[in-house]
Amino acid sequence: MRKRSKTLKIKALKRDNFVCQKCGFEDKTGAKLEAHHIIPLYLMGKDELNNLITLCFDCHHYSPDKPEDFKEYMGEETEGTLTTLIKAWKLVRKEHPELFEEDSFSKIKDKTKIF
């Protein structure tokens, strides 16, 4: 397998504003994002910017290879695992800020008497 261009991946991430084009997950570091070939290389797709789309790890993992199936997949409404977790975390942080105060885990432990 030939070596992939990191420059091309970075260009795709920048073009797509570091946002998964399937679920909307945003990662300005790009660490959790991948560049997906819309037409896979093994199906004679080109390793060019216009054949790349930014997807998060989860959405990329489940994306189909066939271009027709991929187009349908992209049209389906969904939220990736990371997006769902981040939204839940923000909601809990907003509704229960006390859980995010220093030493909050010992307060939870004391209240639940698990240990």
Helices (H) and strands (E) in the chain, counts: 5, 2
Domain boundaries, the chain: 6-112
Cβ-based neighbours of 5, under 8 Å, separated by 6 or more: 47
The band of 11, judged by pLDDT with boundaries at 50, 70 and 90, is: very high
Q: What pLDDT, in 10s, does the model give residues 42-95?
A: 999 999 999 999 999 988 988 888 988 988 888 877 666 666 677 777 888 888
Check whether 20 has a pLDDT greater than 90.
Answer: yes
CA 50 to CA 53: how far, in whole Å? 8
Q: What CATH number is given for 6-112 in this structure? A: 1.10.30
Give me the pLDDT at residue 114, please: 46
The pLDDT of 20-38, averaged and rounded, is 93
33-51 pLDDT per residue, tens:
999 999 999 999 999 999 9
